[in-house]
Amino acid sequence: MKPAVLTGEHFMTGDVACAEGALAAGCLFFGGYPITPATEIAEHMAARLPDVCGTFVQMEDEIAAMASILGASCAGLKSMTATSGPGFSLMMENLGLGICTETPCVVVNVQRAGPSTGLPTLGAQGDMMQARWGSHGHYEIIALAPASPQELFYLTITAFNLSETYRTPVLIMTDEVTGHLSERVVIPEARAIKLRQRPRPKGRKDRFKAFQPGPNGVAPMAIAGEGYGIHVTGLTHDERGYPGMNAETQLEMMTRLTRKIQNNLDDIIRTESYRLEDAEIVLVSYGISGRSSLAAVDEAREQGIQVGLLRLITVWPFPERQIQELAERVRGFVTVEINLGQVHLEVQRCAGGKVPAILVGHPGGSVIPPEQIVQTLKAAF
């Protein structure tokens, strides 16, 4: 039997680092369906979960996989699934169910080029807008974008912490390149890993309201079967969880669902700045493209171009305020991502036409080389 936290230095892929991060976060249930390039996460969880008395279930498809992790979470377990493009599409309806029922869980999308079957073994970042708006209705979502196996380990823990804190599904939007990349990963001592747990109810069980917000806007969550009266439904519901088929209840529920995210942006949004202090041009990037952008900054600086990097670790909610503040003092933005302009739309929106915003992107299948970014900078500025 191995411990949940494999303290030490390892050489592992991003997919395996993600699985180890989940175990370090206390994940005890994985429901999944194999799909390239995310299968290694499922394989590693299947091998490791018995070490910690956890459960792995291969479901019949991704719809069931998403449903299974919601059920496990309602039973009190930290739960996760992992998939890629087509499977992510199948999970969208139950992702919305998790948001509506405020059920914490973690969904990993190891992105590959699409649409449809696309390029199963080659990377892309083309699911970013699907992550934001793929389920139906209006909602808030949290999505993180790791740039290395080491970061996949830590951000998987962060994803669980955010999911538990705000009672909502959290997405890890990685990509095939990061998932299959093998690098050194340092896993700290278990006592050094800070974990958060979902808010728990107190007081009389017969007076408990399953969706009555606490001080930070998040309702305490009872575990199914421990005696609290709970009613869970995907229908519009009130603080008791009872359906309310009218506009007033819809407004009350949606206010609760959106404000618990919007009122806690400082806790949720994470970015990394590199040489931004005197930058005249800002690269905005994330995931594996953030690494290309980092190299491009140094190369461009050597050629006399005053450029810096804003790397998005949290992509959703989008760091609007940072882009808006930068737009007041820089000459332009360049978004670097492996799609034809998705997060770029947000950069344009937040720049508000004050400075130009240019895209360096392609539809997938390879990493964007730093030289291409530098060439764009030289041509445009």
Q: Write the pLDDT tens digit of every residue in 265-310.
A: 999 999 999 999 999 999 999 999 999 999 999 999 999 999 999 9
β-strand 142-144 against 314-316: which pairing, if any?
antiparallel
Q: What is the mean pLDDT of residues 34-58?
A: 97
Share of the chain above pLDDT 70, in %: 100
- Give the pLDDT band (50/70/90) at residue 239: very high
C-alpha to C-alpha distance for 119 and 339, rounded to whole angstroms:
13
Least confident of 97-101, 201-205, 273-277, 305-309: 201-205
Which residue pairs, CB below 8 angstroms and at least 24 apart, start in 193-199?
193/5, 193/24, 193/25, 193/157, 194/161, 195/25, 195/26, 195/157, 195/160, 195/161, 196/160, 196/161, 196/162, 196/164, 196/165, 197/164, 198/104, 198/164, 198/165, 198/167, 199/165, 199/167
**What's this model's pTM, rounded to 2 decimal places?**
0.97
Average per-residue pLDDT for the chain: 97
Query: 365 CB contacts (<8 Å, ≥6 apart)?
Result: 113, 119, 122, 123, 124
**Does the structure show a pLDDT above 80 at 20?**
yes
